[in-house]
Amino acid sequence: MAMAALRREGRRFAPLISPHPMAAVRSSIIPAEEQVPLGVRSISTQIVRNRMKSVKNIQKITKAMKMVAASKLRAIQVKAENSRGLWQPFTALLGDIPSVSVKKNVIVTISSDKGLCGGINSTSVKISKALRKLNAGPETETKYVILGEKAKAQLIRDSKKEIELCITELQKNPLNYTQVSVIADDILKNVEFDALRIVFNKFQSVVSFLPTVSTVLSPEIVERESEAGGKLGDLDSYEIEGGETKSEILQNLSEFQFSCVMFNAVLENACSEQGARMSAMDSSSRNAGEMLDRLTLTYNRTRQASITTELIEIISGASALSG
């Protein structure tokens, strides 16, 4: 009875027991179409052809993405260059003081919604975190306003409580001043601040961008710095006429300055994104070309080895028959 039971159990587990354990392991981790018989050193030409086909398809995609990024860059670059004339007069009038000490800091981090554009998003996030540490103190408060999905994904890991507002899909439609001014107005209404620090990547060339921080002060801080003799712009050299007070004028100027700086920052960052994507896709296309060359060489060697093996077998068979 015991032997019969043992034979039955042996028949049950027979399919799971292989006389060649290495072959069983190979069959479990390597797909059937890519398996090579044991003892054969060369790989199948079909496997190499499949890999060459995959690399060619990837290379086509990267080249197409590079062309799309180039066309978008040309369209955005003209807008970005024209927008630089908007914020520069406000910088000359109200100044740009990154070292000003205030209680409520709001860091506006501008990033992209899509990836495959190098390290521009990581750079913006690193600068934002460095600004937060620089302005940290027992009596200060620092909040984040995030534009773009990539910065949101990185900052939400360790600074979720400090995130005040998130805005994504900014470039779903063509960028214009009306769209950005609505976003700026939304930030001004929902976020309390003494200083807005806008972090973005300024476009320099296709292969180069400069991480930049622009500071926009609230009207109260501008008036305080002006009365304290702080280094502002040329505001004090102008005389105020009309029925509006200096506080009302500063309020209007500060809001308009923020919308203009935001408009330029979003366009500059979009240019940097497309330029970085062009560089990344160009590098990917070159790497795919190099990989294709290596696979082609491997394919030719494998095919030549199989032809040589077949010839040797034919000659050996003919020699055996004649002998």
- When the pLDDT of each residue in the chain is averaged and rounded to a whole number, the result is 82
Distance of CA 123 to the CA centre of its chain: 10
Domain count, the chain: 1
Write out pLDDT tens, residues 218-227: 888 887 776 7
In a domain, 58, yes or no: no
- Res 285 pLDDT > 70: yes
**d(C-alpha 19, C-alpha 182), whole Å:** 73
- Res 200 pLDDT > 90: yes
In a domain, 289, yes or no: no
pTM to 2 decimal places: 0.77
Residues 6+ apart with CB under 8 A from 276: 117, 118, 119, 120, 209
In a domain, 194, yes or no: yes
Residues 6+ apart with CB under 8 A from 264: 80, 83, 84, 86, 87
- Tell me the pLDDT band of 236, cut-offs 50, 70 and 90: low
- Res 80 pLDDT > 80: yes
Higher pLDDT, 88 or 125: 125
In a domain, 16, yes or no: no
Owner of token pair 């003892």: 39
- Tell me the pLDDT band of 233, cut-offs 50, 70 and 90: low
Average pLDDT on 78-83 reads: 90
In a domain, 204, yes or no: yes
Residues 6+ apart with CB under 8 A from 112: 120, 121, 148, 149, 150, 171, 269, 270, 273
Average pLDDT on 249-273 reads: 91
Paired sense of beta strands 195-205 and 208-217, if any: antiparallel
- Lowest-pLDDT range of 98-112, 262-276, 284-298: 98-112
- Res 232 pLDDT > 80: no
**d(C-alpha 80, C-alpha 147), whole Å:** 18
- Res 139 pLDDT > 80: yes
In a domain, 252, yes or no: yes
Write out pLDDT tens, residues 47-70: 899 999 999 999 999 999 999 999
Distance of CA 120 to the CA centre of its chain: 6
Listed residue (158, 185, 193, 171) closest to 110, CA to CA: 171
- What's the pLDDT score for residue 228? 67
- What's the pLDDT score for residue 19? 43
Residues 6+ apart with CB under 8 A from 111: 120, 121, 124, 125, 146, 147, 148, 149, 150, 151, 152, 269
**d(C-alpha 47, C-alpha 45), whole Å:** 5
In a domain, 106, yes or no: yes
Higher pLDDT, 3 or 296: 296
Q: Which domain holds residue 228?
A: 76-233+245-276
In a domain, 251, yes or no: yes
Looking up residue 194, the CATH number of its domain turns out to be 3.40.1380.10
- Tell me the pLDDT band of 234, cut-offs 50, 70 and 90: low
Average pLDDT on 92-117 reads: 87
- Res 29 pLDDT > 60: no
Paired sense of beta strands 104-110 and 195-205, if any: parallel
- What's the pLDDT score for residue 276? 93
